Structure 1
Amino acid sequence: MRTGLDIMRINAADGKAIDKARAIMERQLKQMVRLVDDLLDVSRINTGKLTISKEGLDLQSVVGDAVESARPFIEGQNHELTVSLPPQPVWLLGDATRLAQVLSNLLNNAAKYTVRGGRIALEGTVGGGQLKLSVRDNGIGIAPQMLGHIFEMFTQADSSLERSSAGLGVGLSLARRLVELHGGTIQAFSKGLGQGSEFVILLPLAGAPAAEAPRPAAPPRTRRLLRVLLADDNVDFVNGIGTLLRSMGHTVHISHDGVQALAAAEAFAPDIAFLDIGLPQLNGYDLARALRRQPALRRALLVAVTGWGQQKDRQQAFDAGFDLHVVKPISFERIQAILAGERQEQVLTQY
């Protein structure tokens, strides 16, 4: 990323060089976010705080999200990916984000430990009240002595210095814990080094959810300019977001602590406020409560921006008066969607 910034600075007038540097930086940022998220999940596993939210899920949508997440890396390695699922709807009871995370971890692992131009297959079958998901590859395989340890934290099937794409050795341990939280199991199989590997997940099936009455079509959205309050002590981040929003025509006020934000809010009268929870002097929860006590701000949209995404964190935000709870890092695309009227929660960081 530092090299990319240097390229952009030195070649400020070269559009192609800047586009190439930007693409490199975006790829590296995604990798960095993934590593940080894995480390946060390690902490949650070790402290017993890793939880899931269960709801009725369609297998097709879960697999679609996982493949969409893993596809750029798979295609970047010139692998062939085949997906085979039952033709009929398959229903599960679980956390869509976490199950997609499990599958994307397995697909990324398959791509990582397979020589360029390899084959990866994701297959789903049902039987005996269970769903069987299999991820197979024709990659480097797993040594017999490693099969019993492959799901242990920080274990890597190939720790050689030549394999530069190796991660932290966290993904498989996390995958096992998430599968277990869904009442399932996961196993690894391999005939040995150089003979590929297969990871098999077994999950209980659930009945199809009751059909909902059709909702009336939403009226078309019209773009409107808004007054946006940004409160975050990460100066570079919040100033950058403010610059982008102003370039779109919105009126923006930026504060770097909770007291500043509270003092500015009454006169500024924002339509939407993005508030960091860990603000100096006055935290985001107390700030939201104070804003809700101001008559002019009772109908403003308050968005909690935080590094914590567990159910208790979301509930604490809603109890304080927030309308939405999003987990850092929040993308500019997500901010644009909220400004456009999308009020769906971002439950966990997307890779």
Structure 2
Amino acid sequence: MAAPAAPEPAVSERVVIRAPTARDAEVTLRLLQGAGIEGIVGRDWRHAEELIRDGAGALIVTDSTLGDPGLGSVLLALDEQPAWSDLPVLALCRQGMDAPALREARLRNLTVLDRPASMRTVVSAVQTALRGRRWQYQIRDQIESLQQAERSLRLADQRKDEFLATLAHELRNPLAPIRSGLQLLAQLPDGAAQRDGIRDMIDRQMSQLLRLIDDLLEVSRISTGKLVLQRERLDLKRVVETALESCAPLLAQGGHRLAVSLPDEAVWVDGDLTRLAQSLSNLVNNAAKYTPDGGTITVSLDARAGQAVLVVQDSGIGLPPDMLDRVFDMFAQVNRSLERSQGGLGIGLALVKSLVSLHGGEVGAESPGIGQGSRFTMRLPLAGAPPSASQVEKAQPAAVEPRSPRRILVVDDNEDAAESLAMLLSFGGHEVRVEHGGPAALAAAAELLPQAVFCDVGMPGMDGYEVATRLRQDPRFEKTLLVALTGWGSQEDKRRSRAAGFDEHLTKPAGVDLVMALLSRV
């Protein structure tokens, strides 16, 4: 019966010696040690088999030992070697290749030395065998590396398929009511009471779509190292207030009871208000998604041992033990079949971990088990108070004053996008012209002399960057407001827009209030 397979050694170059007598074994062992080669004596064939299975660089035998009982166990060990392995065997035989015992043994990767052999000959043969063994180890490592790469690719492919399926599902969720709402609006008469509710519903679903897209872009920025934190000294109580404002609709939808515990004193950290509020809101939204209607969610803040500690605890479905270490992994979801789960791409908690890590903090999850709620803890390094004990209130933006109608050029190869923006601008009394390509836009600008240009960047042929560059080269458009409209919103994209001559860079879809605020500057 074959011995159980042992774990393969990393690299073993010890030479197993199976000699006819103890004296022969001792002489051979000293000879190898003198040449800096590790050797070990096999007392019998069973012991030699164990040594080979544990890891060996070569095996030295003699024609007389090949006739000893038990050789079969070593031959079996040699036959059961993995595909990459072919242990070198050196046989010292009085009759060379004609030794009868050698023919019967049917050994592979065999080097036969005439016996007696000089010390130099034996050492040289062993060194050659060990060089060959090292090549085998390299082949093994390459095979393992390729197998690991294949496993990683298969896992990545599987996760990609799961993510795309989830993405399709999550995009359809808001798209379905948007499409139904638009069909209803087309059928309802003007002034119907239901129109306002339908418009509000469409607006909510559009906001959900934008959140999904923003999460995807955020992951891309973090993974490529393009996310830059806008750090400031801030009180984490302000972060809590900002985060809970954005979570209010989801909490209200589920009828959750929210308990907030904040210290009287300020808890100062050096951080990005937007990113920290985003992290906390993701934790609260996650709690709301996985807590039955009418459940309780608690948010608490305090300072301990040089750290600011934010805790979000819920009375929801809890976490199984196997998810505690994986819940912050990309695309991880506790259980797609749970009724309370409201879906998502499985990247919200991964974003939290990445954003908190960028702040030098950490986040962890705890849960007694399924049905017993969850507890998420965010820890951030405390910072000293700013020179002034109270934070300076940010100035409120001045109300946008209505201005006289402006001449505006809208450029976008997507006709629906261009026409819809033009209609909105026209409702404000502005004179609007639409073009769908770069050359036509330049010709229209020369005729219209617009005071503002909203231009798509990714157009075929002449793109938006070239349009902006050419307009800036014309003295007539030196002070014209040039606004880039694009789906690309990284810092590098914004830098490129500025370099081309754009004054502003807006990611699609741009809010009407923001567009009107820009026009107020003209």
TM-score (norm 1): 0.87
Partners of 2:489 and 2:383 lie apart in 1 by 26
SS for the counterpart of 1:23 is helix
In proportion to residue count, which structure has more helix? 2
Partners of 1:306 and 1:119 lie apart in 2 by 41
Conserved? CA contact 2:455–2:485, under 8 Å: yes
Matched, 1:295 2:471: no
Q: Which among 114, 118, 122 is matched to residue 295 of structure 2?
A: 118
Structure 1 vs Structure 2 CA RMSD: 2.8
Aligned pair in 2 of structure 1 residues 98, 215: CA closer, same or farther (>3 Å)? closer
Conserved? CA contact 1:301–1:323, under 8 Å: yes
SS for the counterpart of 2:201 is helix
Offset at 1:42? 4.0
Partners of 1:215 and 1:20 lie apart in 2 by 34
Instruction: Name the counterpart of 2:230.
Output: 54
Give unmatched runs, 5+ long, in structure 1: 343-351
Instruction: Name the counterpart of 2:401.
Output: 222
Conserved? CA contact 1:277–1:284, under 8 Å: yes
**What do residues 265-312 of structure 1 show as CA deviations (whole Å, max 9, x unaligned)?**
232222222222212222222222211111121112222222222222
Partners of 2:315 and 2:395 lie apart in 1 by 49
Matched, 1:28 2:205: yes
**What one-letter code is carried by the residue in structure 2 that aligns with 1:253?**
R
Aligned pair in 2 of structure 1 residues 259, 86: CA closer, same or farther (>3 Å)? farther
Partners of 2:329 and 2:395 lie apart in 1 by 49
Instruction: Name the counterpart of 1:87.
Output: 264
**What one-letter code is carried by the residue in structure 2 that aligns with 1:297?**
F
SS for the counterpart of 1:15 is coil
Instruction: Name the counterpart of 1:174.
Output: 351
Partners of 2:482 and 2:197 lie apart in 1 by 37
Aligned pair in 2 of structure 1 residues 183, 258: CA closer, same or farther (>3 Å)? farther
Conserved? CA contact 1:221–1:340, under 8 Å: yes
After TM superposition, the structure 1 stretch with the greater mean CA deviation from structure 2, 222-231 or 56-65, is: 56-65
**What do residues 240-272 of structure 1 show as CA deviations (whole Å, max 9, x unaligned)?**
121111111111122222222222223222222
Written as runs of structure 1 = structure 2, the 5 A alignment for 1:1-351 is: 1-13=178-190, 15-45=192-222, 48-58=224-234, 59-160=236-337, 162-163=339-340, 165-208=342-385, 222-224=401-403, 225-341=405-521
Conserved? CA contact 2:471–2:477, under 8 Å: yes
**What do residues 192-241 of structure 1 show as CA deviations (whole Å, max 9, x unaligned)?**
11111111111223445567999999987531122222222222122112
**What one-letter code is carried by the residue in structure 2 that aligns with 1:223?**
P
Instruction: Name the counterpart of 2:90.
Output: none
Aligned pair in 2 of structure 1 residues 87, 268: CA closer, same or farther (>3 Å)? farther
Offset at 1:14? 5.6
After TM superposition, the structure 1 stretch with the greater mean CA deviation from structure 2, 138-147 or 21-30, is: 21-30
Which structure is richer in relative contact order (CA contacts within 8 A, separation 6 or more)?
Answer: 1
Offset at 1:119? 1.6
Offset at 1:120? 1.4
Offset at 1:116? 0.7
Identity %: 44
Conserved? CA contact 1:56–1:93, under 8 Å: yes
Conserved? CA contact 1:266–1:294, under 8 Å: no
Offset at 1:318? 1.8
Instruction: Name the counterpart of 1:345.
Output: none
Offset at 1:18? 1.8
Offset at 1:164? 5.8
Conserved? CA contact 2:469–2:501, under 8 Å: yes
Conserved? CA contact 1:135–1:198, under 8 Å: yes
Offset at 1:72? 0.9
Conserved? CA contact 1:54–1:93, under 8 Å: no
After TM superposition, the structure 1 stretch with the greater mean CA deviation from structure 2, 49-58 or 211-220, is: 211-220
SS for the counterpart of 2:193 is helix
Partners of 2:329 and 2:287 lie apart in 1 by 18
**What one-letter code is carried by the residue in structure 2 that aligns with 1:281?**
G
SS for the counterpart of 1:141 is coil
Offset at 1:184? 1.2
Offset at 1:44? 4.2
Partners of 2:240 and 2:180 lie apart in 1 by 35
Partners of 1:328 and 1:98 lie apart in 2 by 21
Partners of 1:217 and 1:42 lie apart in 2 by 31
Partners of 2:393 and 2:490 lie apart in 1 by 31
For the pair shown, the structure with the greater C-alpha radius of gyration is 2
SS for the counterpart of 2:344 is coil
SS for the counterpart of 1:167 is coil
